[in-house]
Structure 1
Amino acid sequence: MIIYLGLPQAGLTIPAVPAGILALALNYGAYMAEIFRGGITAIPRGQWEAADALALGKMQVLRWIVLPQSLRLIVPATGNQFIMMLKDSALVSAMGVWEMMYLARAIGRADFRNMEMLITAALIYWIMSAILEGCQARLERRYSRGIRSSVPARAGGK
């Protein structure tokens, strides 16, 4: 809302859709940068030193050693951010952007079926979130291959 309603007071007018995209990009870009920073810095310093001992360049170290290990840490938080951004896209309807919740309210008012349209929009959001959660789970399994679980095996072999 600050970008859409506040910037015109400073002489810069941005249409609703680009303002919504810019606001979401700035907000989630900051979170994503912190997620990637945290994932990369979580790799032990010994990994970097071992790569240095092998005379690998900085880009080779990142590509072949650091990023494969850090993706295991980055994927869960990144998936959560995508799901949150999907849900937060409904907030741009307050600026008059024609997104799903805006259309649900508009059609519901026209046909006097507000509850049905809002439930339909909620179900669509739920389905899209479930699809993203499934993709996230597959990525997590893929990048966690070869990593031992911290959960101890049960006694008795079962």
Structure 2
Amino acid sequence: MTRFAEVRHEEWIAADLPIVKSQFADLEHHIQANVHPKLHFEVQHQSARRARYVQEVRLLGIRQRDVFEREFGAGGSMTDTSVEGFNKGGSLHFEFGAETREARAGTRVTVTIRLPLPPVVGVLLKPLLERQIRKELLAAVAEDKYDLEVRGYRRPEAARPTLAQAA
């Protein structure tokens, strides 16, 4: 039985729901704009409803390479599941909802990361791993927030499929 480290985080972003959903789904933009400097992406396939990509990252000093398959949910969610690599069976799940704060329209983004724990020693490492995942998750969400609120991400033309189009 596989055990998982699981971390969840909610963030409010001062940008309209379709723009936020589109930015989070836009792998090419993340690569070209270097939104996440610690992550390396390579898109293998992308369509309106699915994507397959390679992600490389260093976590706890260990280089991790995973192949993810992305699916868009009918309700506008997005789930990336590792089908090959260090975190095979793990997932990143994104949910989006329009939310107004202080009379300002925006989007609430909820990210849940589940990564498999190594057998035997995994339970002992779970708190350490979850702290490190939370740290990296907070940094990544802050980078997306900056990209949307400061740089001003622009939704691509119909040339690239996006989550907003899939929902």
Larger radius of gyration: 1
More strand by share: 2
Same fold at TM > 0.5: no
Where relative contact order (Cα < 8 A, 6+ residues apart) is larger, the structure is 2
More helix by share: 1
